[in-house]
């Protein structure tokens, strides 16, 4: 086999992908990015968010999709999600554990239950999402990919908030750091058996800015709340982002699709930050 | 190593044994009045005995740091006994060693309760008291090398400790305006009672560890405690939001 023949492509044709929290936050963009690369996408979310409608939307774009009503915070729901997927398609190649931003509050006022529930909701859905997917992936036949046979890929959605402090977001930042750590441990545990586990670290999004009271990016000074957020106050927020744009769902979706593909075959345990350079910049 | 904690009050959680006791000792020996916070009354009392004659004053408050009401009672007791609180060391924690494929929710949740949620609860409730006093303060959280590098079988522990790292950064940024500094120490392999138990149970063997660690040996508790004392001291007055690994070079080295 020549070197060029060993280069994997980005195609996900005939791969079976499951996405949790699929209609929320970066979820729709992740589903679309996977679908556009050819994956069959199982769209999981709670009934109130109508995952079936999201699947129909994907179908209109030419992607094969299946909507399943599931509460990702419940382990038995996650088990059902994977079981249903396997029943329908025979296997599960890609599991995407999407995560949601939770409420913002100064730490000294944050109710302890809110902190604990905020962390648990995220951490539990990600870890048990990984677990139920891996329990099936480890049993299924491996795809004969380079450089080694691959049984499945798991992609968790983390954030730059798992690396740097976002004031007012004690629970979210703690949970995101946890997701990054879980990704490392499970990559080490399951790598030898052919399951990759990686994460995307979403950058500073408009919803994150809104959650700390920044509604209008063009008029940041006047809309900022208390001095709690002074680290952002001294400059327009995009001033901290080298590429001068906030992170959008499509860049997260693209990164997920890449990490799920054969082109990312040697990537595991890693968090790929799609942050426009935010983490690299020293905020001067 | 000499620090000056005279006139200050330090609270150390999980101080009944191991590193927690070492933190209490170094703070007490350098002049702090110390509150031993511990769930187990026998070891809590033993730490009081160990600190008598070492620290200017020492009390033991039996507390489950995962329970906010008990932590609030502990804050009240410290203020009643000592009139103030200046230093909090969030040391309480446990390991939780499980195979990821077999962890149940019942096994998973307590790991976060004891390591991460207790750190938040104690930081918030003692932090509020520090804010009320208006003189600032120092919080030192106890992270781990497991927050940065992988130990198979420690998924929950790693996630909880990584959560502590970011909690440290968020609280440092939020409470800088109150002059409350929040830092963390990330101990490497340390010769504690738990380590000796793990050796005894055959869970770890020392020789391969020594080869893995650039300094060639596990740490003595005092070597970690000195870092905590420094981060808590006035000498560290410009340091906040940092995670310092005292690990003999563990995290600097890849696995080769």
The predicted structure's pLDDT at residue A223 = 36
Rounded-to-10 torsion of CA A100, A106, A110, A116: 40
Length of chain A: 284
CATH of the domain at B15: 3.40.50.720
B33-38, strands of its sheet edge to edge: B58-62, B33-38, B9-13, B87-90, B137-142, B180-187, B243-246
The predicted structure's pLDDT at residue A174 = 97
The predicted structure's pLDDT at residue A241 = 74
The predicted structure's pLDDT at residue A2 = 61
Helices (H) and strands (E) in chain B, counts: 9, 7
Walking along chain B (256 residues) 10 residues at a time, the average pLDDT comes out as: 92 96 97 98 98 97 97 98 98 88 93 96 98 98 92 89 97 96 96 90 87 92 96 95 94 74
- Indicate whether this complex's ipTM tops 0.85: no
The answer to whether A94 touches A18, Cβ cutoff 8 Å, is: yes
Which residues of B are catalytically annotated?
A: 157
**What is the DSSP code string of chain A?**
--HHHH---S--TT-EEEESSTTSTTHHHHHHHHHHTT-EEEEEE-GGG-HHHHHHHHHHTT--EEEEE--TTSHHHHHHHHHHHHHHHS---EEEE---------TTTS-HHHHHHHHHHHHHHHHHHHHHHHHHHTTSPPB--SSS-B-EEEEEEEEGGGTS--TT-HHHHHHHHHHHHHHHHHHHHHGGGTEEEEEEEE--BHHHHHHTT---GGGHHHH--SGGGHHHHTS-GGGGSTTSS-B-HHHHHHHHHHHHSGGGTT--S-EEEESTTTTTS---
Closest Cβ opposite residue B117 in set A115, A161, A188: A115
Report the pLDDT averaged over residues A2-22. 83
CATH value of A9-205+247-274 in 3.40.47.10, 3.40.50.720, 3.30.310.50, 3.30.365.10: 3.40.50.720
Tell me phi and psi for residue B98, to 5 degrees. -135, 155
The predicted structure's pLDDT at residue B107 = 93
Taking only the tens place, the pLDDT of each residue in A91-136 is 999 999 999 998 789 999 999 999 999 999 999 999 999 999 999 9
Give the DSSP letter of residue B136: -
Q: How confident is the model at residue A4 (pLDDT cuts 50, 70, 90)?
A: low
Residue B81 domain flag: yes
Residue B38 domain flag: yes
The predicted structure's pLDDT at residue A235 = 47
Task: Determine the residue among B174, B184, B186 to mutate to test chain A binding: the one whose Cβ has the most chain A Cβ atoms within 10 Å.
Answer: B174
Report pTM. 0.85
Residue B152 domain flag: yes
Taking only the tens place, the pLDDT of each residue in A28-87 is 999 999 999 999 999 999 999 999 999 999 999 999 999 999 999 999 999 999 999 999
- Percent over 90 (pLDDT), chain A: 70
Answer yes or no: is pLDDT of A231 > 50.
Answer: no
Mark yes or no for CB contact A107/B124 under 8 Å. yes
Residue B109 domain flag: yes
Average pLDDT, chain A: 88
Task: Determine the residue among B162, B178, B242, B255 to mutate to test chain A binding: the one whose Cβ has the most chain A Cβ atoms within 10 Å.
Answer: B162
Mark yes or no for CB contact A162/B162 under 8 Å. yes
Answer yes or no: is pLDDT of A240 > 60.
Answer: yes
Residue B50 domain flag: yes
- For residue B62, give the H/E element and its range: strand B58-62
Our count of domains for chain B comes to 1
| Cα–Cα distance, A107 to A113 (Å, whole number) | 12
Answer yes or no: is pLDDT of A232 > 50.
Answer: no
Mark yes or no for CB contact A162/B161 under 8 Å. no
Phi and psi based region of residue A269 (left: phi greater than 0; alpha: psi -120 to 50; beta: remaining): left
- For residue B175, give the H/E element and its range: helix B155-175
CA A41, A275, A226, B239 torsion-angle sign = positive
Mark yes or no for CB contact B166/A116 under 8 Å. no
Write out the residue range of the structural domain in which residue B15 sits. 9-247
The predicted structure's pLDDT at residue A128 = 98
């Amino acid at each position: 086999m020549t070197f060029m023949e060993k280069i994997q492509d980005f195609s996900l044709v005939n791969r079976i992908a499951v996405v949790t929290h699929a209609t929320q936050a970066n979820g729709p963009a992740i589903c679309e990015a996977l679908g556009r690369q050819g994956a069959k996408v199982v769209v999981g979310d709670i009934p109130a968010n109508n995952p079936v409608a999201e699947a129909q939307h994907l179908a209109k774009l030419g992607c094969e999709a299946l909507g399943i009503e599931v509460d990702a915070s419940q382990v038995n729901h996650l088990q059902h999600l994977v079981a249903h997927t396997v029943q329908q398609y025979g296997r599960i190649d890609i599991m995407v554990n999407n995560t949601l931003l939770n409420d913002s509050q100064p730490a000294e006022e944050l109710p302890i239950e809110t902190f604990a529930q905020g962390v648990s909701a995220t951490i539990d859905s990600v870890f048990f999402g990984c677990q139920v997917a891996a329990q099936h992936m480890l049993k299924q036949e491996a795809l004969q990919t380079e450089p080694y046979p691959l049984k499945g890929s798991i992609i968790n959605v983390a954030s730059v908030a798992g690396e740097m402090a976002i004031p007012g977001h004690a629970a979210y930042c703690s949970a995101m750091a946890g997701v990054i750590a879980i990704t490392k441990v499970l990559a080490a545990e399951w790598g030898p058996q052919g399951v990759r586990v990686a994460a995307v670290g979403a950058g500073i999004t408009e919803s994150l800015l809104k959650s700390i009271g920044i509604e209008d990016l063009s008029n940041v000074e006047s809309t900022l709340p208390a001095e709690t957020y002074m680290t952002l106050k001294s400059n327009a927020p995009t001033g901290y982002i080298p590429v001068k744009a906030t992170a959008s769902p499509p860049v997260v979706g693209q990164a997920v699709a890449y990490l799920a593909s054969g082109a990312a075959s040697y990537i595991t345990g890693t968090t790929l930050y799609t942050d426009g350079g935010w983490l690299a910049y020293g905020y001067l | 190593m000499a620090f000056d904690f005279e006139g200050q009050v330090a609270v150390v959680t999980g101080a009944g044994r191991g590193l927690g006791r070492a933190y209490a000792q170094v703070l007490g020996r350098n002049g702090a009045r110390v509150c031993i916070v511990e769930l187990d009354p026998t070891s809590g009392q033993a730490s009081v005995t160990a600190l008598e004659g070492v620290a200017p004053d020492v009390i033991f408050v039996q507390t489950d740091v995962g329970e906010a009401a008990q932590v609030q009672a502990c804050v009240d007791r410290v203020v009643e006994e000592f009139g103030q609180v200046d230093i909090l060391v969030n040391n309480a924690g446990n390991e939780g060693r499980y195979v990821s494929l077999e962890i149940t929710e019942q096994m998973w949740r307590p790991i976060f309760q004891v390591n991460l949620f207790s750190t938040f609860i104690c930081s918030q409730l003692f932090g509020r008291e520090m804010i009320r006093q208006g003189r600032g303060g120092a919080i030192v959280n106890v992270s781990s090398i497991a927050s940065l590098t992988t130990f198979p079988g420690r998924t929950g522990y790693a996630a909880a400790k990584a959560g502590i790292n970011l909690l440290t950064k968020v609280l440092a940024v939020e409470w800088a305006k109150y002059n409350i500094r929040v830092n963390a120490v990330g101990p490497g392999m340390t010769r504690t009672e738990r380590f000796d138990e793990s050796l005894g149970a055959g869970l770890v063997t020392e020789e391969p560890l020594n080869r893995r660690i650039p300094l060639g040996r596990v740490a003595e508790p005092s070597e970690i405690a000195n870092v905590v004392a420094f981060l808590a001291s006035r000498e560290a007055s410009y340091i906040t939001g940092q995670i310092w690994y005292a690990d003999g070079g563990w995290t600097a080295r890849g696995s080769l």
